[in-house]
Amino acid sequence: MSDEARDDLLYTHHHHPFHEGINVNYSFPTGTATAVSIVDSSSSSSSAQNLQNFGLPHLSFAEFLHGSSGNYDARSSAVFFGDNQASVDVKEIVGESAHTPNCSVSSSSTEAEEDSSKGEKDKQNKGSEYRGGEDSKKVNKMLKKKGEKKQREPKFAFMTRSEVDHLEDGYRWRKYGQKAVKNSPYPRSYYRCTTQKCTVKKRVERSFQDPSTVITTYEGQHNHHVPVTVRGQAAAAGLMLPPDSVLPIAPPHVGLNPHHNPFIHMGQFAVGGSSSTPPVASALYDPTPTTTTLPIHHYHHHQLLPDYGLLQDVVPSFVLRQEPHSQ
DNA sequence: CGCGTTTGACCAGCGC
DNA sequence: GCGCTGGTCAAACGCG
């Protein structure tokens, strides 16, 4: 599906992804988080189990994020952000690079792959440019053609209620583009991880249906630790955390793996402006009080954010079915 | 000076 | 083939 067609889907249909995924709602002091995990069907059973684990009442929100319940796969990790209102929708996309599903892939999934593969071409050809690499020029960009379809990077999208567009996640990002989005008054911003040889990208845009909501889509996996010692926001964010929280806590891999994110590890979520703007202390989410969890089947439509537009852009067809209501 | 942002231009893919 | 749209590039610029 073309981007346009995708947008048409986004904005004209009322497809509700929550009908197809497993939903987990979390209530915590400042709001509610709704997570939707969309996983490869070939591993659906284990992932379902993992999500079930997340639904256990004894798990804190941070633990939910941490995915510390044993067999939870790194690909199924989620990063949450929040502000004082802390309402987060999460949709996770597992790409074929991590797992090649046997099941049929919907058009939306296929197109998401094409989109990212297009980006991959640039990654390979141009990735070194802005980081001071050789002088590969525009011509080079043209060399890669359609035949070289690259594996799709894992995509991961979530929605956050926030006044700030660009949410701090501990990594350093360089903005490389901004585009007006069809049917939306709000532009979409494109960021790349500034770490050398890290190809992770993310897109950030504000929901036009709910301007208080920011939609963030990550693509790819970090191949490095959270740059906690670099100047800028990471270092500044580190100042807000207890000393031990800024230590790298896991090997580099997954860009969105909360294991690797000190903010998440601490259950804190920094919401900042641009990458050059230190996060605001008041925007931190304090997880310590009465973080509670709800059963996995228990979700409230009124808590859901109205716009799943961008999310659909990365929706694969291989999804888990929602747990049946038991009450 | 290094790094990040801005922004117009360019390209690919798609539908018509 | 043309137009539209999303995604990316890269020069110019800003900031600390």
pLDDT number for residue A188: 93
Please give the protein residue whose CA is closest to the C1' of the nucleotide C16. A276
Question: Gap from A10 CA to C3 C1', in Å?
Answer: 21
Position with higher pLDDT, A217 vs A246: A217
Q: Which amino acid residue lies closest to nucleotide B10, measuring CA to C1'? A: A138
pLDDT band, residue A190 (cuts 50/70/90): very high
**Mean pLDDT calculated for residue range A28-40:** 33
Q: What is the pLDDT of residues A71-96, one digit of tens each?
A: 323 232 333 333 333 344 455 544 43
CA of residue A174 to C1' of nucleotide C14, angstroms: 15
Which nucleotide has its C1' atom closest to residue A142's CA? B11
Amino acid at A148: E
- As a whole number, the mean pLDDT across chain A is 45
Find and list the nucleotides of strand B having atoms within 7 Å of a protein beta carbon. Answer: 3-15
| Percent of chain A predicted with pLDDT > 70 | 22
Q: What's the CA A177/C1' C11 distance, rounded, in angstroms?
A: 13
Q: What are A131-171's pLDDT values in tens digits?
A: 333 333 333 443 343 344 444 566 777 777 777 777 777 78
A128: left (phi over 0), alpha (psi -120 to 50) or beta: alpha
DSSP secondary structure of A187-233: EEEEEEE-STT---EEEEEE-SSSTTEEEEEEES---S---TTSTTH
Nearest amino-acid residue to B4, taking CA and C1': A174
- Which pLDDT tens digit goes with each residue over A278-314? 332 222 333 322 222 222 222 222 223 333 333 333 3
Do the Cβ atoms of A96 and A149 come closer than 8 Å?
no
| Under 8 Å between Cβ of A209 and A308 | no
In angstroms, the CA of A176 and the C1' of C13 are apart by 14
Q: Tell me what pLDDT residue A137 has.
A: 37
Reported pTM: 0.52
